[in-house]
Structure 1
Amino acid sequence: MTAATNALGRELQLVHAAQWLYAINAEPFVPGEGDPYARLVRGFESGENGTDDAGGTLASIAERGPVWRSRLDTWVVTGPAALRELSAGAEPAVSAAVPQAEAWLPDPERQRTTGLARDLARRGGTRAVGRLAGSLREQAGQAAARLGPGPVDLVADFAEPLTAAGYAAVLDVPEERRAAFAADLAAAAPAVDALLCPQTLDTTRRLAAGVRGLRELFAGRAHAEADLLLAVAGARAAADLLGDALRRLLDRPREWALLRSDPAHAARLVEEVLHQRPPWRACPLVALATAEVAGTRIEAGDSLTAITTAAAVPGGPSGIAGPTGTAAADGASRTAGGTVPPGTAGISRTAGATVPAGAAGAAGTGAAGGVGTAETTHTGRVAGTGGAGEPGAVTVLGEATRTNGVPTPLPVAACATLLPAARALAEHALVALAARFPLLRPDGEPVRTRRAPLTRRLVRLPARLGEEETR
């Protein structure tokens, strides 16, 4: 190992040790069992229950209040009101909270520009994905055809290889480079979680090699930065979204039967999964401007993490209900002649609305083959201030609150375009698999990886695919 590698290994160990130390030891003057934020980001809280929080960590985080400082020296911001204030004032950008061997995120100042958003929209927005619908449908059909009746791991044998093939099409990867592209995607799988939770040194080295391979593949392209972001974070969202949808279907045979008879149900199912289990439940940020959030002053340059702490509830896409118990309390509908308050996280599209090109797609049911998307926007900009087609300023993880809105994977409006391709691929995959196999049953316990506090990604989903039983 080189001296640099040894130094990185020590840094990773020290950060993870601090997370464990503060997670376990009670804080001075604060009753309890330690810092709940440290418990979350160490990556060992990955329950399979409805809140994805076996130890009550998210509830403990919420109990501390909307804004508080963790012993890990980062502000923790929770709750719809505080997150709206944050997005409106602090201009947060995504920023790694732990040492990185190979950076893949755009520079924070670059994230606040509209250029990155436009590039992402051109490469992975709803219009771009719509043009690729036939290719994605074909890839999904081929992935399903490669499976036979009997036991299968729906992650390793279906979701991951299909994601690699689908994103190779989205990102125009040459045929001769697709095997290397799939290998680099697999190596970079922990990249999103590594923003908050240090990975092992071996994993970190593989991750860095994967990111380097992807960067080299896209070098020289006009949209290389956007392509790298779509490959690393967008493909991860796609595989996780598909895995979570299949995980849900294993326990719902009637829904599987409905999916076979009504392919449009795939869009509704994916929408439900996005609402109840956002791709990322926490996101590390850096404040680009000084702001007051819930009465607390956050300085420019401060580290903070936006966290969705509420469990999913009916009628609320991100599981966050307003003071009156309705989703409308936290969102605003953009109607003809209407205005949108600054910092609003979710905006619905209605007659006469102007929606930025490439904004996150909400599932629809009108497209050919029963799979379709309709654009929505998740911006922090007042309607009309950005000009037609210009992406908005800032949005915050998990706080979209209209019934047709979904949480964006990263709390920068430019990154809202990570979702359309992920959503479309998941929908086509579900339709193809249901068309091929009449029966889907669990065949063991699902396995989620540790050190994955953001994605809680599945690494194994045992199932049994089969034909109709005749007796």
Structure 2
Amino acid sequence: MEDSELGRRLQMLRGMQWVFGANGDPYARLLCGMEDDPSPFYDAIRTLGELHRSRTGAWVTADPGLGGRILADRKARCPEGSWPVRAKTDGLEQYVLPGHQAFLRLEREEAERLREVAAPVLGAAAVDAWRPLIDEVCAGLAKGLPDTFDLVEEYAGLVPVEVLARIWGVPEEDRARFGRDCRALAPALDSLLCPQQLALSKDMASALEDLRLLFDGLDATPRLAGPADGDGTAVAMLTVLLCTEPVTTAIGNTVLGLLPGQWPVPCTGRVAAGQVAGQALHRAVSYRIATRFAREDLELAGCEVKSGDEVVVLAGAIGRNGPSAAAPPAPPGPAAPPAPSVFGAAAFENALAEPLVRAVTGAALQALAEGPPRLTAAGPVVRRRRSPVVGGLHRAPVAAA
């Protein structure tokens, strides 16, 4: 397909979301991903009832009880490359829906199988064993920071990339290539629901193909438990998609939420930093919009949901209580462990990466807290646009005081 045609279709899909949003649909506005704080849209959606039908055609809920039941219901399947406006992709998945190639469109049973297969590398016990490596990576990156630096580009964005490169054994000569691919895939989770710009979409497709070739060559299959053919590449690619941008965002949001007066006290020490990381992921869940499609006719909250209808759970709203800023607040004292269901409930696919995301986020906060005693903002924070799923950070300059 010619770039001009691909660009036209991307613009058409984007335009539909804008039109629906401009006509008063808060879910469509949320999908546009143009505001730093999605809370006003969450609040507006709550006023529409426990479950309502958006003009996009999707059934939408921000209710914790109903959302949890939907995500746990095996009568709801994962989407298969459908846009919320029901537009056919006509082979566009490789550009506008790269998650289709990156194993993000898994049915529940396959996601659960991969989680078991990946347990020797990514399960809770395995992640505990990786902790010295994770600590070493975070300490090394924190120690090399200048007095003024970009929190995203020079620290938070590098931590998960370096950790994953070490875990999967990416050779030193391929590290720069791996880092470029990870950066190019920053919008991938968002692209599942929000059309990205043409150049970014093409870059994501190229990065996915390059990562596939890289991981095929590394062959992680022997390290897994009872894997099927291709599982090594699938698991490795999933960690890139489910860890890199979510960890970057969680680190950045947490530090920014503690500046200027409270940093670094709440993150001093492994236990405290881990608790703060857990709270951050609970409040600003890294996979904020979960989509499902009904496998059969259902009745949900008094509404008749037909087979094939899209049902959306706003997991990001479930982690928040009322209006709030984009960054999580600092705990006034020792942090209480968050409810474990909120992070994992965002999407069952996340269960594969959850232990690693928590561990890397906590270790990164601890390492940074052991550096300069004070950090202050050194410029405006810039968030990625078209990022309704992750709420990604683009730039956050800070300085040691």
- Paired residues for 1:348-367 under 5 Å: none
Q: How many Å apart are 1:437 and its aligned residue?
A: 1.4
Cα 1:207/1:410, change in 2 over 3 Å:
farther
In the other structure, the counterpart of 1:226 is: 235
2:378 equivalent to 1:443? yes
State how far apart, in whole Å, the 2-side matches of 1:432 and 1:230 are: 22
Cα 1:80/1:434, change in 2 over 3 Å:
closer
Q: How many Å apart are 1:142 and its aligned residue?
A: 1.0
Q: TM-score, normalised on structure 1?
A: 0.71
Q: Which structure is richer in relative contact order (CA contacts within 8 A, separation 6 or more)?
A: 2
In the other structure, the counterpart of 1:88 is: 73
- Paired residues for 1:270-289 under 5 Å: 270-289=277-296
Equivalent position to 1:158, from 155, 159, 164: 155
In the other structure, the counterpart of 2:330 is: none
In the other structure, the counterpart of 2:302 is: 295
Does the aligned pair in 1 maintain the 2:156–2:252 contact within 8 Å? yes
What SS class does the counterpart of residue 300 from structure 1 fall into?
coil
Structure whose CA Rg is larger: 1
| Partner amino acid, structure 2, of 1:291 | L
In the other structure, the counterpart of 2:210 is: 213
State how far apart, in whole Å, the 2-side matches of 1:35 and 1:259 are: 39
2:281 equivalent to 1:265? no
| Partner amino acid, structure 1, of 2:58 | T
Cα 1:364/1:62, change in 2 over 3 Å:
closer
Does the aligned pair in 2 maintain the 1:95–1:195 contact within 8 Å? no
State how far apart, in whole Å, the 1-side matches of 2:115 and 2:306 are: 26
State how far apart, in whole Å, the 1-side matches of 2:165 and 2:255 are: 22
State how far apart, in whole Å, the 2-side matches of 1:310 and 1:410 are: 9
Q: How many Å apart are 1:112 and its aligned residue?
A: 2.2
Larger relative helix fraction: 2
Does the aligned pair in 1 maintain the 2:102–2:208 contact within 8 Å? no
Cα 1:175/1:215, change in 2 over 3 Å:
same
What SS class does the counterpart of residue 250 from structure 2 fall into?
helix
Does the aligned pair in 1 maintain the 2:137–2:163 contact within 8 Å? yes
State how far apart, in whole Å, the 1-side matches of 2:395 and 2:184 are: 16
| Partner amino acid, structure 2, of 1:15 | L
Q: How many Å apart are 1:311 and its aligned residue?
A: 6.5
What SS class does the counterpart of residue 464 from structure 1 fall into?
strand
| Partner amino acid, structure 1, of 2:153 | A
In the other structure, the counterpart of 1:348 is: none
In the other structure, the counterpart of 2:327 is: none
| Partner amino acid, structure 2, of 1:70 | S
Cα 1:276/1:84, change in 2 over 3 Å:
closer
1:335-371 per-residue CA deviation (whole Å, 9 max, x = no partner) reads xxxxxxxxxxxxxxxxxxxxxxxxxxxx999xxxxxx
Q: Tell me, which stretches of 5 or more residues in structure 2 are unaligned? A: 84-88, 222-231, 323-333
State how far apart, in whole Å, the 1-side matches of 2:267 and 2:352 are: 26
Q: TM-score, normalised on structure 2?
A: 0.83
Does the aligned pair in 1 maintain the 2:33–2:387 contact within 8 Å? yes
Q: How many Å apart are 1:37 and its aligned residue?
A: 0.9
1:382-406 per-residue CA deviation (whole Å, 9 max, x = no partner) reads xxxxxxxxxxxxxxxxxxxx74544
| Partner amino acid, structure 1, of 2:25 | D
| Partner amino acid, structure 2, of 1:66 | E
State how far apart, in whole Å, the 2-side matches of 1:126 and 1:311 are: 23
In the other structure, the counterpart of 2:229 is: none
Does the aligned pair in 1 maintain the 2:272–2:335 contact within 8 Å? no
Does the aligned pair in 2 maintain the 1:442–1:462 contact within 8 Å? yes
Q: How many Å apart are 1:14 and its aligned residue?
A: 0.8
Q: Give the stretch that moved more between structures: 232-241 or 170-179.
A: 170-179
Does the aligned pair in 2 maintain the 1:12–1:199 contact within 8 Å? yes
Q: Give the stretch that moved more between structures: 209-218 or 188-197.
A: 209-218
What SS class does the counterpart of residue 157 from structure 2 fall into?
helix
State how far apart, in whole Å, the 1-side matches of 2:376 and 2:345 are: 30
Q: How many Å apart are 1:194 and its aligned residue?
A: 0.6
RMSD in angstroms over aligned alpha carbons?
A: 2.6
- Paired residues for 1:412-431 under 5 Å: 412=348, 414-431=349-366
Paired-residue identity, %: 27
| Partner amino acid, structure 1, of 2:169 | D
